[in-house]
Amino acid sequence: LFEKEIKDEKNIKRFGNIFLYGDFFFTKNFLIKNGIFDYQIIHFTEIFWSYIHKTQHSINFIPTTSDWKIILYQDNGVPIELKCSDEEEAKQTLHEIYTMAPFAFYGYSDELKEKLLHNLEESIIETKNRMREYFENPKNFFKSLNENEKDKNQ
C-alpha cells in the first residue's frame, strides 16, 4: 500500500487510498493524528464540528507569521488540533474532512460555538440525526442542506 507515493497537490501525499497531510493521515473511514509519543484515531462518524483557526504572530505590532490549524471536535466534545503549514493546506484538509463527514457542522462563529457547545448533548443528537439522513439518502440530504441555507439567507 505504501510502495508508491504519488504527489498530486502541493501538500498532499497519496499512498494508494491513504492521504498524508503533515502529521495526520486520512483513510476511507478514519483520520489518524500522529504525535511524537502517541496517536489518535477518529472514525469519521465521530466528527461533530470542524473549522479553520488562524493565529497571527507579530513583533512590535508588525505582523510576521501565521499559524494555521483545523480544530476538530469529536462527538464527545473533545477538540483535536490538526496543524497545517499554510492556508491552502488548511482549506484542503477541511475539504477532506467534509468529504468524509458532510453531516458535521463546519465553520466558526460565536453564535455557532454557543449553540453547539452550550447544549452539547442536543447538538450531538442533531449531528447523529443528520448522519442518519445522509446515510439513508445522500441526495436528499444535500438538497435539504441547500434549502436550509436559502432559508437562513432570506
- Chain segment 7-19, per-residue pLDDT in tens: 444 455 666 677 7
Question: Band of the pLDDT at 154, cuts 50, 70, 90?
Answer: low
Question: Band of the pLDDT at 96, cuts 50, 70, 90?
Answer: confident
Distances (CA, A) of 53 to 40, 60, 83, 99: 20, 23, 10, 19
Each residue's pLDDT tens digit, 106-153: 999 999 999 898 989 999 999 999 999 999 988 888 877 766 665 555
Question: Band of the pLDDT at 105, cuts 50, 70, 90?
Answer: very high
pTM: 0.78
Each residue's pLDDT tens digit, 63-73: 888 999 999 99
Closest C-alpha to 122, from 78, 79, 77: 77
Q: Are 140 and 132 in contact (CB under 8 A)?
A: no
Quick one: pLDDT at residue 8? 43
Cα separation, 148 vs 141, in Å, equals 11
Cα separation, 58 vs 65, in Å, equals 7
- Count CA atoms closer than 13 A to 62's CA, side-chain side: 2
